[in-house]
């Protein structure tokens, strides 16, 4: 049978009369079998030339297209204690609905009338600012009045100085007249003495002229005293001007110093008012934070903090909420070697967990139970799992994704690449070559346009 021996069994024993030999070695069976092999070979050769779409498969999960549509936790910006829950898990809440009410745990904010009393402090400080403003205005009026009075006093002192100078001139003229009078009286006296010696005048006339000469000398001395007094008055008038300027400069400087002191107090009080207003606003906002509200429409998934009277710190997670309106997307992770083959706008087939599918990876048109997708984002930094993240949105030109798909469920994806014959794909898979690197038509057209432009 196996021809491992020189003894040929089929030549020593005649098996032609057996029924098995007659059924197997009939020429009619050889004919049908050869036809079958020929037809199968032709079909296989034809199939080898069928188009095959190269693809990159990956695993991922369902997420949302926009970050604000993904599940989120609600935190409290202030520490507190849970006082009352207004929802339960699974409830649908609208934006602005109260989820829970908390109370204060810091002793700085225990006063229930804190906002009202802060407002009263603001009013008192504002009245103080008004008083300072009035004091500043009064001091400004005082400074102006002192300046006006200084002008008048200086005019008065200058007028007195002018009068003193005129009086000096008048006394000077009188002194010159007195000098003239004494010269005349001296000559008259000398003449009378000479005439008396000649016997032409009596002794009485000599005595009269001598008396008149003495009177004239007395007037001359008196006039000299008056002139000196007038000059002294000029000096006094100049001193008075300097005194008036110094006195009123001191008064004005003092009033201005008081004014600046009042302004400093005013500015300091205004700063205190601003600080109190800031505290007032903070207290009002803090009062609103005692009610934790829903940031958007959604469902309450889980209460992370539970019970009544439980305390928490600022920033602690309180409750988990899932938006009620969201656009589905799929996160797909590809190997770094396949990343250059992925482009924005690439078509992708998606299979969701729990949805039965018959997948022909190279023939997406005959795949049953898969849904169309389109790549909308490609991450430029590798993820912790050693792969690159790609975001896929529903393909608008394909049928809609199932309504029962929920965020977080698993998904298998296939990124569709270039169309090649089946024989080429089998040859590539047997040799372990990567899929063909290619550029989308839109990018190749843009590149050719840039090259052709001068």
Cα 45-47-49 angle, rounded to 5 deg? 80
For the stretch 48-72, pLDDT in tens is: 888 877 777 888 889 988 888 888 9
Structure token pair of residue 425: 């794909």
Q: Which residue has the higher pLDDT, 119 or 20?
A: 119
What letter would DSSP give residue 33?
Answer: H
Q: Is the pLDDT of residue 243 over 50?
A: yes
Q: Which residue has the higher pLDDT, 413 or 453?
A: 413
Domains along the chain? 1-48 (no CATH), 52-68+326-442 (2.40.30.170), 71-104+290-323 (2.40.50.100), 114-288 (1.10.287.620)
Please give the share of the chain, as a percent, with pLDDT higher than 90: 16
135 CB neighbour count, 10 Å cutoff: 17
pLDDT the model gives residue 6? 66
Structure token pair of residue 95: 């934006």
Locus of tokens 């305390």: 311
- In the chain, % helix, strand, coil (3-state, to 5) comes to 55, 20, 25
Q: Which residue has the higher pLDDT, 405 or 86?
A: 86
pLDDT the model gives residue 453? 44
Q: Is the pLDDT of residue 21 over 80?
A: no
Task: Please state, in angstroms and rounded to a whole number, the distance separating the CA atoms of residues 91 and 113.
Answer: 34
Task: Please state, in angstroms and rounded to a whole number, the distance separating the CA atoms of residues 62 and 35.
Answer: 51
Q: Which of 21-25, 223-227, 450-454 has the highest mean pLDDT?
A: 223-227
The pLDDT confidence band at residue 360, using thresholds 50, 70 and 90, is low
In sequence order, the β-bridge partners of residue 320 are: 73, 302
State pTM to two decimals.
0.57
Assess contact for 318 and 73: CB atoms under 8 A: yes
Residue 323: phi and psi, rounded to 5, are -55, 145
Q: Is the pLDDT of residue 406 over 50?
A: yes
Structure token pair of residue 246: 């110094």
Task: Please state, in angstroms and rounded to a whole number, the distance separating the CA atoms of residues 87 and 100.
Answer: 7
pLDDT the model gives residue 420? 79
Q: Write the DSSP assignment of 161-229 as a string of letters.
A: HHHHHHHHHHHHHHHHHHHHHHHHHHHHHHHHHHHHHTTSS-HHHHHHHHHHHHHHHHHHHHHHHHHHH
Q: Is the pLDDT of residue 430 over 70?
A: yes
Task: Please state, in angstroms and rounded to a whole number, the distance separating the CA atoms of residues 18 and 16.
Answer: 5
For the stretch 300-341, pLDDT in tens is: 988 888 788 889 898 899 999 988 888 889 998 888 877 777
Q: Is the pLDDT of residue 344 over 90?
A: no
């Amino acid at each position: 049978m196996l021809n491992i021996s020189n003894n040929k069994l089929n030549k020593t024993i005649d098996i032609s009369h057996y029924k098995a030999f007659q059924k197997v070695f009939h020429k009619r069976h050889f004919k049908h079998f050869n036809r079958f092999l020929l037809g199968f070979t032709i079909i296989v050769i034809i199939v080898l030339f069928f188009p095959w779409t190269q693809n990159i498969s990956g695993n991922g999960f369902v997420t949302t297209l926009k970050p604000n549509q993904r599940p989120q936790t609600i935190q409290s910006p202030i520490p507190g204690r849970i006082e009352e829950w207004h929802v339960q898990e699974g409830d649908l809440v609208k934006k602005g609905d109260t989820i829970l009410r908390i109370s204060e745990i810091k002793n700085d904010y225990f006063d229930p009338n804190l906002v009202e009393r802060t407002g009263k402090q603001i009013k008192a400080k504002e009245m103080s600012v008004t008083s300072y403003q009035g004091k500043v205005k009064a001091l400004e009026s005082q400074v102006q009045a002192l300046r006006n009075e200084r002008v008048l006093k200086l005019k008065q002192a200058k007028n007195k100085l002018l009068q003193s100078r005129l009086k000096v001139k008048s006394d000077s003229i009188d002194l010159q007249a007195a000098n003239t009078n004494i010269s005349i009286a001296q000559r008259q006296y000398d003449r009378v003495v000479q005439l008396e010696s000649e016997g032409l005048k009596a002794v009485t006339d000599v005595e009269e002229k001598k008396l008149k000469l003495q009177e004239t000398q007395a007037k001359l001395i008196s006039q000299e005293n008056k002139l000196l007094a007038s000059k002294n008055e000029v000096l006094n008038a100049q001193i008075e001007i300097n005194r008036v300027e110094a006195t009123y400069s001191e008064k004005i400087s003092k009033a201005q110093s008081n004014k600046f002191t009042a302004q400093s107090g005013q500015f300091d009080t205004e700063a205190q008012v601003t600080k109190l207003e800031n505290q007032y606003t903070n207290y009002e906002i803090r009062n609103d934070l005692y009610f934790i509200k829903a940031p958007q429409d959604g469902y309450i998934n889980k209460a992370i903090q539970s019970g009544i009277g439980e305390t928490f710190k600022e920033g602690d997670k309180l409750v988990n909420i899932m938006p009620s309106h969201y656009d589905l997307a799929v996160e797909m992770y590809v190997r770094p070697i396949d990343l250059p083959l992925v482009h924005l706008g690439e078509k992708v087939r998606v299979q969701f967990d729990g949805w039965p599918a018959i997948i022909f990876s190279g023939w997406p048109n005959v795949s049953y139970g898969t849904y169309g997708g389109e790549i909308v984002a490609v991450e430029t930094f590798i993820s912790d799992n050693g792969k690159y993240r790609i975001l896929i949105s529903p393909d608008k030109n394909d049928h809609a994704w199932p309504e029962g798909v929920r965020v977080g469920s698993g998904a298998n994806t296939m990124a569709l690449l270039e169309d090649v014959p089946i024989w080429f794909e089998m040859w590539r898979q047997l040799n372990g070559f990567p899929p063909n690197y290619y550029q989308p038509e839109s990018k190749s057209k843009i590149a050719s346009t840039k090259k052709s432009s001068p």
